[in-house]
Structure 1
Amino acid sequence: MNITKSLFAISMISFAVNSVANADSNSETYDWRMATPWSGGPLFERDAKGFADWVSKLSGGRISIEVFPGGSLGSSLKVTNTVNSGVAELAHNYINYDYGSDPTTSILAGHSSGLTPEEYILWMYKGGGIELYEEYRRENFNVVAFPCSVSGTEVFLHSNKKVETLDDFQGLRLRTSGAWSEIASNLGASTVVMAGGDIYSSLERGVIDATEWGTPEQNMLTGFNEVAQYIVVPGVHQSGGANECQVNMDVWSELSDSDKNLIRMAAKLNLFDSYLSSSYEDLGAFQELKEGPNEIIHLDQSFIDTIYQETRKWEDDHAKDNEWFAKVLESQRDFKNNMKVWSDYRLPIGVMAR
């Protein structure tokens, strides 16, 4: 299906869902609060608020969602707890913030040698990923959750130390989190976990050598390029993934089936919007970084291969004694094998540029 037909199909689905929602005999109105980890930026203004807007549109205004910045309704890194406790009816969240409870969150969020954004979308909606995602969140965290915005390929490092090879990575004082903190440590880095608000000053004062954070669009807003000389790509530590929307289980159980479907459709439409917007904004942001005073460094292929090898060891280790980790990993690996044929008949994105 070409992009025009895809857009038309999504528009028609949106119209159909909107018609059903407005015709629903259930005329219940809801005023909900949405918790987030975000203090601002595109994850807050575009992705979290975008989902709230879609829910309002599809429900004809019956369901109103007020979106709160991180820290307003509880800890920014414990948004799942905020939803579970009922302080907020729902949330926009990054599942990897629950990594401390279970490393399975990291492969659902996106991790090194994982899926690209396009692969992630295909796996979710056609490869059985979204069913695994919902079942996992219900069983292990007692929330209803599904992807509702895309996480793009990140910048590997903003660094004051040139990193191109595995040797360069040795002893690097690196701010990171989640699965990559374990894998990067195994590869020789000295990893540090710190709050987002402390990273800029830590880079500026030399407390850390480097940080990974987000996509080009997101990183431009942080100003890390102002205090770190080198920009290292590609972001093999986080090749793609998604952020999620969560709903409190009690709130969900009280909804009609049509409202449940409406919310799921809002999440899907918002994810598509997020993918288009973030992908386009990343193009301009990275071009601006290239034209700036920073030096762009490309990782040596041998280092990338080593990262993939170390990640596979890490995956196999966790899969041995974690049933859910093994189940999700098997699904993703099967999907990757199916994707091998992709390059046999598809042109790489951007190859037509002259």
Structure 2
Amino acid sequence: MERRSFLKNAGAGLAAGTMAMPAIAQNAPTIKWRLASSFPKSLDTIYGGAEVMAKRVAEATGGKFQIQVFAGGEIVPGPAVFDAVKDGTVEMGHTVSYYFFGKDPTYALETAVPFGMTNRMMDAWMRHGNGGKLLGEFFAKSNIMTIPCGNTTTQMGGWYRKEIKTVADLNGLKIRIGGFAGAVLSKLGAVPQQIPGGDIYPALEKGTIDAAEWIGPYDDQKLGFNKVAKFYYYPGWWEGGPQVTAYVGLKKWAELPKEYQTILQIACADAHVDMVAKYDARNPTALKQLVGSGTVLKQFPKEVMDACYKAAMELYAETSAKNAAFKKVYDDYKKFMDDQILWMRVAEGSYTNYIFSKR
């Protein structure tokens, strides 16, 4: 399967929420797969991406290709989705690859890294740059192919029990965060904690941690973080456009009829767009409600942003020096992003800055 070819064409046929579907032969096989999600059902938008995809697949095949979605913990814990797909425990997964930073930091480039690409930049790199090809080669070593299947867009900077006024306030801060972002904050004295989504609230409530990041207003409100932490910071500089991904075991992929492969790819593309649209539609109301209930919205001071940026660039250089796989993908990622910034700051940047100033 030519991954780059798919990424360029998977969106074809998507118009007004519909998909152009191939005719399914009368003798097409009945196939039932299991998908393990890294997310709880309560987070209906990010978890729901897998359900949207599975529904489209079933509809397009007349019910002959069924994908049953299981929430995190129902088959395997959320952080175990990678191994479940790699080892063939399940046929599919739905997750974010930076969860597996500990296996190899290269995986994080498939989702998001600090001061990295936005959703649109990421889509461009994956579809029309080298992102799809390079990451496809890397994941294939673990018997996994990946298909973009959602994006949360730029996230918030999280919930804090005290204000962050200077870089010094990060020293000793116990914060629920992981991956590259955790490594960056460690350079500035923070103490990153790896805590599953369902355990964040009690940890904040009891003071076991001082701060926590999750996604954005819609999901954060559902989890009730505003009840146990007063200050809500932005932006989430570590997640400019985090891609959510469908994992498929390579052996299982090879067994699928070509028609089913195409349908699965197009269904993932539809779910990808749908997730972005849902978050963009729901976050404004949730943010207004949070602020109305007493949440104090704060922007990270420039001093803090600059220190984190410097630490992130140092970390990329250090990681590239000792990890050839990371360097290969990151060098291409950075070059592509530099060109994207050059373009987007001209038309879109000037346009959005102007209309924002009028509100």
Q: TM-score, normalised by structure 2?
A: 0.89
Q: 1:45 to 1:326 in 2, by over 3 A?
A: closer
Does structure 2 conserve the Cα–Cα contact (< 8 Å) formed by 1:146 and 1:246? yes
Q: 1:210 to 1:257 in 2, by over 3 A?
A: same
Stretches of 4+ moved more than 6 A in 1?
Answer: none
Q: Secondary structure at the match of 1:72?
A: coil
Structure 2 residue identity aligned to 1:267: C
- Identical positions, percent: 25
> Aligned equivalents of 1:181 and 1:76: distance in 2?
19
> Aligned equivalents of 1:315 and 1:191: distance in 2?
18
Q: Tell me the equivalent position of 1:259.
A: 260
> Aligned equivalents of 1:341 and 1:244: distance in 2?
27
Work out whether 1:10 is the aligned partner of 2:14.
yes
Does structure 2 conserve the Cα–Cα contact (< 8 Å) formed by 1:78 and 1:97? no
> Aligned equivalents of 1:241 and 1:286: distance in 2?
20
Does structure 1 conserve the Cα–Cα contact (< 8 Å) formed by 2:45 and 2:275? no
Q: Tell me the equivalent position of 1:243.
A: 244
Does structure 2 conserve the Cα–Cα contact (< 8 Å) formed by 1:232 and 1:296? yes
Q: Secondary structure at the match of 2:107?
A: helix
Q: 1:133 to 1:25 in 2, by over 3 A?
A: farther
Show CA shifts across 1:282-306 (max 9, x none). Answer: 2222222222212111111222122
Q: Tell me the equivalent position of 1:341.
A: 343
Q: Secondary structure at the match of 1:10?
A: coil
Q: List gaps (5 residues or longer) in structure 2.
A: 1-10
Q: Tell me the equivalent position of 2:139.
A: 137
Q: 1:26 to 1:342 in 2, by over 3 A?
A: farther
Match of 2:75 among 73, 76, 89: 73
Show CA shifts across 1:304-332 (max 9, x none). Answer: 12211111111111111222211221122
> Aligned equivalents of 1:220 and 1:25: distance in 2?
47
Match of 2:356 among 339, 351, 354: 351
Structure 2 residue identity aligned to 1:246: Y
Does structure 1 conserve the Cα–Cα contact (< 8 Å) formed by 2:205 and 2:228? yes
Q: Secondary structure at the match of 2:259?
A: helix
Structure 2 residue identity aligned to 1:131: K
> Aligned equivalents of 2:269 and 2:182: distance in 1?
30
Q: How many residues align?
A: 344
1:76 deviates by 2.0
1:220 deviates by 1.1
Q: Tell me the equivalent position of 1:180.
A: 181
> Aligned equivalents of 2:210 and 2:335: distance in 1?
37
Q: How large is the Cα RMSD of the aligned pairs?
A: 2.2
Q: Tell me the equivalent position of 1:200.
A: 201
> Aligned equivalents of 2:27 and 2:93: distance in 1?
24
Q: Tell me the equivalent position of 1:110.
A: 112
Does structure 2 conserve the Cα–Cα contact (< 8 Å) formed by 1:73 and 1:82? no
1:12 deviates by 8.7
Show CA shifts across 1:194-218 (max 9, x none). Answer: 2333221121121211111112221
> Aligned equivalents of 1:203 and 1:88: distance in 2?
33
Structure 1 residue identity aligned to 2:219: Q
1:13 deviates by 11
Does structure 1 conserve the Cα–Cα contact (< 8 Å) formed by 2:46 and 2:150? no
Structure 2 residue identity aligned to 1:351: F
Q: Tell me the equivalent position of 1:268.
A: 269
1:14 deviates by 5.6
Work out whether 1:162 is the aligned partner of 2:166.
no
Q: Tell me the equivalent position of 1:53.
A: 55
Match of 1:125 among 127, 150, 155: 127
Q: Tell me the equivalent position of 2:233.
A: 232
Q: Tell me the equivalent position of 1:3.
A: none
> Aligned equivalents of 1:66 and 1:353: distance in 2?
47
> Aligned equivalents of 1:87 and 1:353: distance in 2?
53
Q: Tell me the equivalent position of 2:96.
A: 94
1:226 deviates by 0.6
Q: 1:328 to 1:348 in 2, by over 3 A?
A: farther
Does structure 1 conserve the Cα–Cα contact (< 8 Å) formed by 2:231 and 2:295? yes
